[in-house]
């Protein structure tokens, strides 16, 4: 993987999280690998997960199969980033 590819995925994910959850981009930019998401942010519910996955597909030009994601992928920002990288760059 090229660092610029990682940055593109990471930036897209942060932007989509801000848009999907209605959070300030500066707040999302402060998310660290261990920042808890699902269950910790009231805005990040099952509907937000569905919207985020659809937005990721559109923004990154990928198809996300149901069996490609697990509930744990949405628990922390680090897990979510790893999932987005795996789906977009593998």
Which tens digits make up the pLDDT trace of 40-69?
A: 999 999 999 999 999 999 998 889 998 999
Q: What are the beta bridge partners of residue 36?
A: 76
C-alpha angle 81-74-40 in degrees, rounded to nearest 5: 115
- Rounded to two decimals, the pTM is 0.90
> Does the domain at residues 3-89 carry the CATH identifier 1.10.150.120?
no
Banded pLDDT at 2 (limits 50, 70, 90): low
pLDDT at residue 19 is higher than 90: yes
Three-state DSSP at 75 gives coil
pLDDT at residue 1 is higher than 70: no
Mean pLDDT of 11-30: 96
Cβ-Cβ contacts under 8 Å for 13 (sequence gap 6 or more): 56, 80, 81, 84
């Amino acid at each position: 993987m090229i660092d610029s590819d990682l940055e593109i995925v990471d930036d897209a994910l942060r932007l989509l999280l801000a848009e999907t959850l209605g959070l300030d981009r500066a707040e999302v930019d402060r998310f660290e690998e261990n920042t808890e998401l699902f269950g910790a942010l009231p805005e990040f519910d099952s509907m937000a997960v569905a919207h985020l996955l659809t937005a990721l597909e559109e923004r990154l030009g990928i198809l996300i199969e149901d069996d490609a994601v697990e509930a744990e992928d949405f628990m922390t920002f680090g897990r979510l980033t790893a999932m987005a990288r795996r789906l977009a760059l593998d």
